[in-house]
Chains A and B, each alone.
Chain A
Amino acid sequence: MSDAILRIENVHTDIAQYHILHGVDLQVPRGAVTMLLGRNGVGKTTTLRTIIGHWPAREGRIVFDGDDITALKTSERARAGIGYVPEDMGIFSDLTVEENMVLAAASGPLDTGRRDRIFEAFPPLRTFWRSPAGTLSGGQKQMLSIARAMAEERRLFLIDEPTKGLAPAIVSTMAGALRDLKRQGASILLVEQNFAVAKALGDFAAVMDDGRIVWAGEMEQLATDAGLQERLMGLSMEAG
């Protein structure tokens, strides 16, 4: 893993008076999908939020593509090329789908070629282009959320549980879209509870427990070793 697009070194994060991350060390390889796994409440979302800068790291370093971004503001990290899809999707429900996308293209007008590719991946967005985003279904909102991260050239995507609460049919649409993204050479750090999806998409995996990375390696190895899964994540996930 010498060519890492993102390196996190000994990051500690506090939320109010609570110490959540206890020294996270993580490498996200370039051009691959890295799954961030672990039980609920071990700090996966906090890790993503610390990378994008919503929570400040009290200690440690975050290096993105060779540059130390620890001291940068969230907006500067985004402009440096990090796309973020939060767990709650962060849709602007008062704005139309189009307005959401226009806003997502922060550095200029939305590129039409890019827009057409997004329409191809997520057809419903074309249908509801001018509808308020608040009227979309849960799955469509998730599509919009990912599409927004794709509205500009990004070197790294941070995606938090994109299949959470979605019907199986949409989960497969979503998995397909992420696979396309991966095929285009994007680097992705993905939090995922659905182990089937994780197994299908992930090249690498890192497992968290109690605010630390407790295991990191190839997804293949984790997927085939039920004992390892059990030890790391408490219960073995049903292999889909």
Chain B
Amino acid sequence: MSAAPDHRPRMADLPLGERIAKAMPVLLVPILLVLGFLAIGNPSSWLTLTVSGLAMGMMIFIMASGLTLVFGLMDVINFGHGAFISVGAFVGISVVLALAEWAQAPSLLLNLGVVLLAVLAAMAITGMLGWAFERVIVKPVYGAHLKQILVTVGGLIVIEQLIHVIWGPDEIFFARPEMLKGAVTFWGAALEKYRLLAVAIGLVLFVVMRLVFRRTRIGLIVRAGVENGEMVEALGYRLRLVFIGVFIAGSALAGLGGVMWGLYQEVITAGMGEEMMILVFIVVIIGGLGSVEGAFIGALLVGLLQNYIAFLEPKLALISNIALLTAILMWRPQGMMPVVKAK
């Protein structure tokens, strides 16, 4: 560790190869886009699939971001995260169904109003649920991974079953708000309006999250806390409060993801969160546990790859995610952008 007094930062000295390796995860998305384009060969199909893949990726990212941060900050792995996805979907869709008149009116303003209300209701409820979940289920098992996994799985089941108790045992089918149905044509490609909206929401959210992380003190605390929580406390911050805040925000985001996914599928089931968790875990692992950027890239890769493969070779689509997971872990056993841990 010894060095001359005015040692230059190593960044500038990095050889080209290493710099590419560092940027490689970010480059994977455009590479996949190009490969997809070459394999599909038809620009309009490619565009349709790409938008659909990006939409899916954005929604998965929204669900995954909270989970990965909660892990990074407190080393807590929450298998119950999927419950917030389901609850968010049921609360949100209940709002959409309750405001059926607005939803069916051919007015973009009213339709978006319904979606906004649905999202706000879902996020409020899942946020509160997250707070309760943290206090009752997670808090007593800090620092014990085995128990965390067991207890949060238990919490997932209980919440899922309560959804059955409240909303009945069957899945709920419904229609998207009027103006979000159908597609727009762009360069000969049919692009579903709702998917475009999902991509937009996802992008805005990602940009906002980045700004929060780079520009605000709370963002700095979270980033620093992921790396070395003890030191953050030694500087005078109550990491526990920050963690609860992140847990609530992450749960609310899962709820948002749930509403969006529900609107995308036009059907919701109590088990949908559990199903989505599979993809969320894959995304979080390949991104690198604790890394929001990694989760973002991972989610886009999963969404795009799944859509491309489903078009090219439908039978392989089922295992494309596992294949991606395997490939990434062979390349980087810790995930694409592993978080530096001080301990």
* Known A-B contacts A136-B9, A139-B5, A165-B2; A95 and B223 likewise in contact (beta carbons under 8 Å): yes
- What per-residue 1/0 map shows which CB atoms of A33-75 lie under 8 Å from chain B? 0000000000000000000111000000000000000000111
CB distance from A90 to the nearest CB of B (A): 4
Task: Give CA–CA (A203, B313) in the complex, Å.
Answer: 76
A73 touches B233 (CB 8 A): yes
- Of A20-28, A100-108, A177-185, A226-234, which binds chain B? A100-108
Q: Which residues of chain A have C-beta atoms less than 8 A from B234's C-beta?
A: 52, 54, 74, 78, 84, 86, 90
How far is it, in angstroms, between the C-alpha of A99 and the C-alpha of B221 when the chains are bound?
A: 10
Contact partner of B228 (CB less than 8 A), chosen from A78, A92, A140, is A92
Is B3 part of the contact surface with A, judged by Cβ < 8 Å? yes
Within 8 Å of chain B (Cβ to Cβ): is A79? yes
A131 interface hit (Cβ, 8 Å): yes
Is B16 interfacial (CB-CB < 8 Å)? no
Shortest B273–chain A CB gap in Å is: 31
* Structural contact, A173 and B5, CB atoms closer than 8 A: yes
Give Cα A131–Cα B9 distance, bound, in whole angstroms. 8
- Shortest A179–chain B CB gap in Å is 17
Q: Is B142 an interface residue (CB 8 A)?
A: no
A104 touches B235 (CB 8 A): yes
A169 nearest in chain B by CB position:
B5
Alpha-carbon distance A88/B343, docked complex (angstroms): 10
A134 within 8 A of B: yes
Cβ 8 A contact of A124, one of B5, B217, B239, B342: B5
Given contacts A138-B1, A165-B1, A169-B4, contact A86 B9 (CB under 8 A): no
Q: How far is the CA of A103 from the CA of B340 in the complex (A)?
A: 18
In chain B, positions 186-230 with a C-beta closer than 8 Å to chain A are 217, 220-221, 223-224, 226-228, 230
Q: Is the CB of B230 within 8 A of A90?
A: yes
CB contact list, A118-150 vs B, under 8 A: 124, 127-128, 131-132, 134-140, 148
Given contacts A54-B230, A92-B227, contact A135 B239 (CB under 8 A): no
User: Which of B3, B9, B221 is close to A128, meaning CB atoms less than 8 Å apart?
Assistant: B9
Tell me, in angstroms, the Cα distance from A95 to B238 when the chains sit together.
Answer: 19
- Taking CB as reference atom, which chain A residue is nearest B7? A137
The residue from A102, A136, A137, A165 contacting B4, defined by CB atoms under 8 A apart: A137
State the CA gap A27–B3 with chains docked (Å). Answer: 36
Chain A: CB-nearest residue to B291: A94
How long is the Cα–Cα vector from A128 to B234 in the complex, in angstroms? 24
Which B residue's beta carbon lies closest to that of A85?
Answer: B234
B239 pairs with A139, CB closer than 8 A? no
> Are B11 and A92 in touch, CB under 8 angstroms?
no
Confirm or deny: B108 has a beta carbon within 8 angstroms of a beta carbon on chain A. Answer: no
Cβ-defined contact, A102 with B217, below 8 A: yes
- With an 8 A cutoff between CB atoms, is A1 at the interface? no
Query: With a CB–CB cut-off of 8 A, which chain B residues contact A127?
Result: 6
- B239 lies within 8 A of A75 (CB): yes
Given contacts A92-B228, A167-B2, contact A103 B342 (CB under 8 A): no
B232-262 to A contact mask, C-beta < 8 Å, 1/0: 1111111100000000000000000000000
**CA distance in complex: A129, B217 (Å):** 17
Cβ B9 vs Cβ A106 within 8 A: no
A228 to B5, CA, bound (A): 36
A4 within 8 A of B: no
- Measured CB to CB, the closest approach of chain B to A120, in angstroms, equals 15
B315 at the interface (CB under 8 A from A): no
A169 to B7, CA, bound (A): 12
**Contacting residues, chain B, for A92 (C-beta < 8 A):** 223-224, 227-228, 231
Contact partners of B233 in chain A: CB under 8 A: 53-54, 73-75, 78
A78 with B236, Cβ < 8 A, contacts A135-B10, A139-B2, A169-B4 known: yes
* A136–B5 alpha-carbon span in the complex (Å): 11
For residue B6, give the distance in angstroms from its CB to the closest CB of chain A: 6
> Which residues B285-343 have CB closer than 8 A to chain A?
339-340, 342
Q: Contact mask A203-216 → B, CB, 8 Å, 1/0?
A: 00000000000000
CB distance from A212 to the nearest CB of B (A): 25
Closest to B219 in A: A99
Question: What residues on A are CB-neighbors of B4 within 8 Å?
Answer: 137, 167, 169
Complex: how many Å from CA A100 to CA B3? 21
Q: Are A93 and B9 also in contact (CB < 8 A) when A102-B217, A167-B2 are?
A: no
Other-chain contact of A103, B6, B9, B220 (Cβ < 8 Å): B220
The distance in angstroms between the C-alpha atoms of A166 and B330, with both chains bound, is 37
Given A52-B234, A86-B231, A106-B235, 12 additional A-B pairs, CB 8 A: A54-B233, A74-B234, A86-B230, A90-B234, A94-B224, A94-B340, A102-B217, A103-B217, A104-B235, A138-B1, A165-B2, A173-B5
What are 19 residue pairs bridging A and B, where the CB atoms are less than 8 Å apart in the complex? A53-B233, A54-B234, A73-B238, A74-B230, A75-B239, A78-B236, A92-B228, A93-B340, A94-B227, A102-B220, A103-B224, A106-B236, A131-B11, A132-B9, A132-B11, A135-B11, A139-B2, A165-B1, A166-B2
Binding site for A on B (CB under 8 A): 1-7, 9-11, 217, 220-221, 223-224, 226-228, 230-239, 339-340, 342
* 10 tightest A-B CB contacts, nearest first: A138-B1, A90-B231, A137-B3, A137-B7, A106-B236, A135-B9, A78-B236, A74-B233, A167-B2, A92-B224
